[in-house]
Amino acid sequence: MNVNHVLAVLALGVACCTWADVDSVERSSFFEARVDKESGVPYKVLKAGTGGGWNHQQLYFVQKSMTEDGRFLVVCASDNEYGETPVRKDWVHRVQVLDLEKDAVIDFGGEVRGFCTCLDRRNDRVWQVDRTGFHYYDLKAAEPAKARVKACPFPQELLDEEKASGPFRVFVGHLTLNADATGAFIDSTYEKKSVQGYIDFTTGKYEKWGETKFYLFHGQTNPKNPRMALACFEDCWHVANYELERLTPEEIAKLEIYARKPWSPMHSQYKRPKEWSYPRLQLVEPGRRTVIIPLYSRGAPHERWDEQGEGFYWCGSGAVWYHDLETADEYMVSPHGAHAFMSADRRFVVSDVGCPGAGAYRGHRWRTYFHDRERGKGFYFCTNDAAYAPSAEKESRLHPDPHPQFVCGDRYVLWTNNRPGRMELAVARTADLAAACGK
């Protein structure tokens, strides 16, 4: 397939699926048009005040925020944390859904909250988890905010575990569904340990896969193999000493993590770090847990499966890397990235990167980057003119990172565009980004 054909396919909006209205964003009155002064790429942002929100963001990087038919867009709205009135904790990241076909806001009245809400993109449902069970809202119902369906109860054995392991930190870290949305890997974390397993929504049956003494989080069901999940070691965020990220082999052994088969470097141009390893990347299967030590990058944050479930990618040492499950090969897919997302055909990678000299605090200046692997080139776009947070001393309590993502059959790219004290939900057509990359 040549470049012109790829761009034509993307422009028609039939890269991966079919939807009722391929111009959903273009036609909606919720958005205002802009042109990026840096790259010349046209894009749109959600109008200020939509749904009563001060800040608007897409879902966290393990999710996608738009249904495959292009009709529904999930928005995380939050209050002005730098205004005169303090942010209400119970209204941080309240979830709303924009019906782009009807130009209507579906507001759940604060009943659905959380940056990690799960969207069933093919069946048009919003999922949430609580102590009582796994629930979803049918977005195509006459009154979606009232169409709450309980799929199955929360596993009783996990509730009983609180007696021995302390209260829940989270019932489920990041709910991601299997291919037919009938089940999911769940990573439940208590005060003293984490437990991993699988829930079948149709029967309510829970299968425990294992447990760890450390915080295992960001669980993601493999898109094609429900007997495998990707998760991450994340104790470093729950201790004062951030040096815990820098673990020696001896320390790794104490954490009961065991390494995959011996590596044979496939790309000599990359240098494998030897001083320390951060054992974030972990494959979880029934009765088995395997750490993937990156070959060429020290850090390994913000991991995600590819759409085929054949491998996963992450950001480390300033770049984006891919790991092939079958061959154990590892290679760079983009030279820049702190959070990244790959198109379904693995050709395009979109990521965010901190601006030079921006510092390392929540709410600093960001810029987004689009990379075309076929052409071997990329470009920055929508660099923030100023930081979202006033200063490092007043860093954000929210999560204003751009977190760009491909959605709607790769037709669009969504990201959080930061301005001083305000977050905007931005969207660009992939075809426009790809065309700009070819100039």
Residue 79, pLDDT score:
86
Quick one: pLDDT at residue 139?
96
For the cut 50, the answer to whether the pLDDT of residue 19 exceeds it is no
Is residue 169 pLDDT above 50, yes or no? yes
Instruction: Please give the mean pLDDT across all residues of the chain.
Output: 84
Is 256 a residue whose pLDDT tops 50? no
Quick: pLDDT tens for 47-89: 999 988 889 999 988 899 999 989 999 999 888 888 876 655 5
pLDDT at 257 over 70: no
Q: What is the pTM of this model?
A: 0.88
If pLDDT is split at 50, 70 and 90, which confidence band does 10 have? Answer: very low
Tokens matching residue 104: 């209507």
- The pLDDT tens digits of the residues spanning 267-285 come to 334 344 445 556 788 899 9
* CA-based nearest residue to 206, from 179, 171, 245, 165: 171
Q: What is the pLDDT of residues 334-393, one digit of tens each?
A: 999 999 999 999 999 999 999 998 888 889 999 999 999 999 999 999 999 999 999 999
Cα(44)–Cα(357) distance, integer angstroms? 28
What pLDDT, on a 0 to 100 scale, did the predictor assign at position 155? 98
What are residue 307's phi and psi, to 5 degrees? -70, -20
| Token digits of residue 11 | 């422009």
| pLDDT at residue 222, rounded to an integer | 97
Instruction: Reply yes or no on whether the pLDDT at 413 is more than 50.
Output: yes
pLDDT at 88: 59
Q: Is pLDDT of 203 > 90?
A: yes
Q: Rounded to 10 degrees, what is the CA torsion of 129, 134, 137, 138? A: 150
The mean per-residue pLDDT over the stretch 179-189 comes to 95
Give the CA distances from residue 300 to residues 123, 251, 291, 304, in Å, rounded to whole numbers and listed in that order: 32, 17, 11, 11
Topology of 3-437 in CATH?
Answer: Methylamine Dehydrogenase; Chain H (2.130.10)
Domain boundaries, the chain: 3-437
